[in-house]
């Protein structure tokens, strides 16, 4: 599914027009917004991470949206996949921070102005908090996407089919509900991808300036 998602993305982004059509206008709007998010959070030095952020956003969005189609496997509802993404990001941030700041990067585990007597306890708490970034990032994405959406789809689909076979105008009501829920799930798919990338951008700030 990940390979299919990349292939679909490449096909959709094939060709650029001087006068954009609707699809290109949407992509340009996403591009401008994410560029502003990266610049606001990371500054001009963090623009180098922008290609990674927009690629990550589009990759997760396509995985989430394609998962709404029937008989399609959705990788992002499996915690192994989402934790793989989140741990890869946190490990990458850690390595990039150590590459730039050397071992001074570990100073993020010790809050400024804290008493030295509390250093062992504070370092332990900050280490657990730092590792929990990866766990919360991955669990949030998987949990929000697998919160009963497919169960609701299955129930409403069976209900709609029964009412359609019975006939009557009332049979349109469950279909309208399914359309509404589908739009809602598409919105959730986009929002969760955006939140994932926003948190990733915030975490990348540690590779630019020590806090």
Residues 165-179: tens digit of each pLDDT: 665 555 667 677 777
Residues 27-46: tens digit of each pLDDT: 889 889 999 999 998 888 88
Cα three-residue angle 70-72-73, rounded to 5 degrees: 140
Residues 149, 150, 153, 158: is their CA dihedral positive or negative? negative
Model confidence band, residue 88 (pLDDT cutoffs 50, 70, 90): very high
Model confidence band, residue 87 (pLDDT cutoffs 50, 70, 90): very high
Residue span of the structural domain in which 47 resides: 2-207
Give the pLDDT score at 51: 92
Q: Above 90 in pLDDT, residue 188? A: no
- Range 151-169 average pLDDT: 63
Half-sphere exposure of 178 (CA within 13 A, CB side): 18
Percent with pLDDT over 70 in the chain: 82
Structure pTM? 0.81
Number of domains, the chain: 1
Residues 49-73: tens digit of each pLDDT: 999 999 999 999 988 888 777 777 7
Percent with pLDDT over 90 in the chain: 19
Q: Above 80 in pLDDT, residue 148? A: no
Give the pLDDT score at 145: 76
CA distances from 45 to 1, 53, 73, 210 (A): 34, 14, 38, 14
CA distances from 96 to 46, 77, 91, 105 (A): 12, 28, 9, 10
Q: Above 70 in pLDDT, residue 85? A: yes
Structure tokens at 45: 């030095």
Give the pLDDT score at 28: 85
């Amino acid at each position: 599914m990940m390979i299919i998602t990349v292939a679909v993305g490449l096909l959709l982004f094939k060709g650029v027009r001087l006068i954009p059509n609707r699809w290109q206008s949407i992509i340009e709007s996403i591009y401008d917004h994410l560029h502003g998010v990266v610049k606001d959070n990371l500054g001009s030095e963090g623009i180098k991470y922008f290609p990674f952020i927009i690629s990550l956003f589009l990759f997760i969005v396509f995985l989430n949206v394609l998962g709404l189609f029937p008989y399609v496997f959705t990788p992002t509802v499996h915690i192994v996949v989402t934790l793989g993404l989140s741990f890869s990001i946190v490990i990458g941030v850690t390595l990039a921070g150590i590459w730039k700041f050397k071992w001074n990067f570990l100073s993020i585990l010790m809050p400024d102005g804290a008493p030295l007597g509390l250093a062992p306890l504070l370092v332990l708490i900050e280490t657990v908090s730092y590792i929990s970034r990866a766990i919360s990032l991955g669990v949030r994405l998987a949990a929000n996407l697998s919160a009963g959406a497919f169960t609701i789809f299955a129930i409403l689909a069976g209900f709609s089919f029964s009412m359609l076979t019975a006939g009557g105008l009332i049979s349109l009501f469950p279909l309208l509900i399914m359309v509404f829920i589908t739009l809602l799930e598409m919105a959730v798919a986009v929002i969760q991808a955006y939140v994932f990338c926003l948190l990733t951008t915030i975490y990348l700030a540690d590779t630019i300036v020590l806090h």
